[in-house]
Copies of this chain bind each other. A is one copy, B any other.
Amino acid sequence: MSVKATTKSPKTYHLHRDRQRRRILDAARKLFDERGIDRTTMAEVIAASGVRASTLYEYFSRKDEIVWAIFGDMLAEDAESVKKRLEGATTGLAKITALLQHMADQLSTEPTKVRFMAQFDAMYAREWPVERMLTLEGELNDQGFKVFGTLIREGIADGSLRADLDTELTLHAVINAVIGAQRRLASLGSKVEVEYGQPIHRLFQETIRIFLLGLSATKLPGRTRRSSRAAARTSTTRKRTP
C-alpha cells in the first residue's frame, strides 16, 4: 500500500483534496442555511461532512475560513452570470433591468445563496476588512463600482434614463436597496408572505418595477397588456403575474 502512495500521481492527489474540500463546504453550506452560520458548530460540520475533526482542520484552519470560502465561491459564480446578462442588453436602461432581473431570478432559484449572503452581511459586517468587500460585488466587473456610473451615463446618453440622475450616487443607492430587499425577502421567506399576503417573488418584481419607473426617462403607460418575460426585462411597465 505504501507503494500505491508513492506512485499516486499528483493528479489523483489533487482530485482527492478537492473532493474532500467540496464535502466540507457542501455540508457547511447546508448547515449554515438550516441553522444559521453562528448557530452551526464545527462539530456539526464535522459530523455532516463525514471527515474527522483533525482532518477538517487540515483544510480550513478556522470556522471563519469556511465561511469565507463559501462566500468566495458564491461571488465567483455570480460574477460570471452577471457578465453574460449584461452582454445581451443594449440601452443603459436595458442593462440595469438585466442586472435587477438577475437578482430576481437568483431569489427564485437560489434562495439558499441569498440567505447566506444576508447572514454574511449581518454577522460579518462588524469584523471584516473593507478590502474584502471591495472584492465583493466589485468582481462583477473589472471596473468595480465604476460600472454603476458608466451605466447611468450610458442610459442618459441613449435617452433611456432620466437626465437628472447622479452618476456617482443613483445606481449605488438603487443596487443597495435591491440587495437589501432581496435578502430580506429571502431571509424572512414565508413569514413575509403570510404578513403581506403576497408571494415574495411578486413583491420583489414590484420593487424592481417601481425602481425602473423612477429611473426611466419617459413615463411609460402603466397597465399595458404586454406581459411576456422579455418585455418585463426592458420595460418598466407593470408585469401582471399569471
Contact = CB atoms under 8 A, between A and B. Distances in A.
A21 interface: no
B207 A210 contact: no
A206 B215 CA distance: 11
- Among A1, A145, A184, A212, chain B packs the most CB atoms within 10 A around the CB of A184
Contact of A210 (B125, B192, B198, B214): B214
Contacts of A2: 1-3, 5
A138 to B, nearest CB: 8
A174 B185 CA distance: 12
Interface residues of A, number: 73
Contacts of A164: 221-223, 238
A176 B187 contact: no
Contact of A184 (B121, B202, B206, B238): B121
Contacts of A221: 164
Interface string A164-182: 1110111011101111111
A49 to B, nearest CB: 20
Contacts of A172: 196, 198, 203, 206
Interface stretch (A8-16, A70-78, A84-92, A126-134): A126-134
The prevalent SS among residues of A at the interface is helix
Given A177-B178, A212-B214, A169 B202 contact: yes
A162 interface: yes
Interface in A87-128: 118-119, 121-123, 125-126, 128
A36 interface: yes
Contact of A170 (B39, B162, B206, B218): B206
A241 to B, nearest CB: 9
B133 A195 contact: yes
A52 interface: no
8 contacts: A125-B188, A125-B191, A128-B191, A133-B191, A136-B195, A164-B222, A177-B180, A180-B183
Given A130-B194, A218-B219, 14 more contacts: A2-B2, A35-B126, A38-B38, A121-B184, A133-B195, A162-B213, A163-B223, A168-B197, A169-B206, A176-B181, A176-B192, A177-B211, A180-B181, A214-B236
The list of the 4 closest CB pairs from A to B, nearest first, reads A164-B222, A180-B180, A214-B214, A122-B122
